Amino acid sequence: MYGVTNLLLIAVILINFFTLGSSRLNSCIRAVAAQGALLALIPLAAHGLTFHTVVLGVGAFALKGVLIPWVLLRALRQMRLRRESGPLIGYIPTMVLGALITSAAFIFADFLPLRPEHRGGLFIPTSLATLFVGFLLLMTRRDAVSQVLGYLVLENGIFVFGTLLAEAMPLMVEAGVLLDLLVGVFIMGIVMDQIQREFSTLNTERLSALKG
């Protein structure tokens, strides 16, 4: 049961905790990049070397592990921003919530009507936990960079789920998802730039004020 795949999935969950607890945007981006790179290895580890998994792995690594983090780090450098403006409910409560969600995902996954070969594995709980941690990041963080990171973590959760079905899902679908992700991050980059120019901060709460 404890193969390379499971170790990778556990590392993914640990990175979830790290992103919830870290206040430095730089290290957060690097952590999410590492998560993306680890995820790129999962199809290879779980399904062996085939054309499908190699393309998927290389594509995911290039996008999630290299390109998107590079874009984000570059944006961060240009905005001269090191520390985020703090979450809505503090780091420790966020981490505790994250742990509760992760445990809940593990319990919930046991109740799902899964196929016998997927039962008891770490794929489903990890994917659910990563998904919800992404949601949590999106909800609790105020600055745009962290929200983009939340979106990326959320997508990582979906990717883990997709890897489970890598044999059934055509390559085009996954390629499409990865492309959507890239386009999404680029659009968010443009939005971030606009927010920065308008308010000279990345705090998205300013957007809800009626007049600047």
| Residues lying near other proteins in the complex (CB under 8 A) | 1-2, 6-7, 10, 13-14, 17, 21, 91-92, 95-96, 98-99, 102-103, 106, 110, 120
C-beta of 2: minimal distance to other proteins in Å? 6
By beta-carbon proximity to other proteins, the closer residue of 94 and 204 is: 94
Q: Where are the alpha helices (DSSP H) in 112-170?
A: 123-140, 144-164
C-beta of 89: minimal distance to other proteins in Å? 14
Reference 147, options 159, 135, 132, 156; nearest CA is 135
Q: What is the largest CA-CA distance in the chain?
A: 57
Cβ contacts of residue 3 below 8 Å, gap of 6+? Answer: 45
Placement of tokens 């443009």 in the chain:
190
State the amino acid at position 115 in one-letter form: R
By beta-carbon proximity to other proteins, the closer residue of 98 and 189 is: 98
C-beta of 107: minimal distance to other proteins in Å? 9
C-beta of 75: minimal distance to other proteins in Å? 26
